A and B are shown apart, each in its own frame.
Chain A
Amino acid sequence: MSKAVLMQGNEAAVEGAIAAGMRIFAGYPITPSTEIAEQSALRLPQVGGRFIQMEDEISSIAAVLGASVAGVKAMTATSGPGFSLMQENLGYGAMAEIPCVIVDVQRAGPSTGLPTSPAQGDYMQARWGTHGDHPVIALSPSSVLETFYLMVRAFNLSEKYRTPVIFLMDEIVGHMREGVELPNPSSLIINHRRPSFHDGANKQCYYVPEGQLVPAMKPFGRGERYNITGLAHDESGFPTNNTQVAGKLVSRLLAKVEEHTDDIVRVEEYAMDDAETAVVCFGGTTRAVMSAILEARAAGKKVGMFRPITVWPFPEQQLKARLPQLKNILMVEHNHGQMLLEVQRVTGGATPVSFLGKVDGTVITPAEILAKLQEMEV
Chain B
Amino acid sequence: MPSDLIHLYMRIDHLPHIWCPGCGNGVIMRDVAVALDEIINDTDNDIDRDDIVIVSGIGCSSRAAGYLDFNSIHTTHGRAIAFATGIKMANPKLHVIVLTGDGDCSAIGGNHLIHAARRNLGLTVICFNNDIYGMTGGQYSPTTPTGDKATTAPYGNLDRPFDIALLAAGAGASFAARGDVFHARETTEIIKKAILHKGFSLVDVYSVCPTYYGRKNKKGDAVEMLKWQRDNLIPMSRFNVMTPEDMAGKKPIGILAENDFPEYTEEYAKLIERCRNKNRK
Contact = CB atoms under 8 A, between A and B. Distances in A.
A353 to B, nearest CB: 39
Contacts of A63: 82-83, 85-86, 89
B87 A70 contact: yes
Contacts of A226: 71-72
B91 interface: yes
Interface string B45-73: 00001110101000000000110011111
Contacts of B261: none
For the complex, would chain A's binding face be called helix, strand, loop or mixed by DSSP majority? mixed
24 contacts: A24-B89, A26-B85, A45-B268, A45-B275, A50-B89, A55-B112, A59-B111, A62-B82, A63-B82, A65-B75, A66-B83, A66-B85, A66-B89, A71-B90, A221-B50, A221-B94, A225-B69, A225-B72, A227-B72, A228-B73, A229-B66, A231-B74, A238-B11, A239-B74
A89 B86 contact: no
Which residue, of A50, A52, A227, A230, has the highest number of chain B Cβ atoms within 10 A?
A: A227
B262 to A, nearest CB: 15
**Size range of the interface on A?**
35 or more
B111 A70 contact: no
Interface string B93-105: 1100000000000
Contact of B76 (A60, A70, A92): A92
Given A50-B268, A221-B94, A225-B71, A59 B87 contact: no
Interface residues of B, number: 42
Nearest to B278: A46
A276 B74 CA distance: 54
A45 B272 CA distance: 5
Given A71-B91, A222-B50, A238-B14, A58 B86 contact: no
Contact of A46 (B55, B112, B265, B275): B275
B238 interface: no
B89 A52 contact: yes
A185 to B, nearest CB: 16
Interface in B87-131: 87-91, 93-94, 111-112, 115
Nearest to B118: A55
Given A55-B112, A66-B55, A221-B94, A26 B87 contact: no
A310 B225 CA distance: 59
Contacts of B85: 26, 52, 54, 59, 62-63, 66
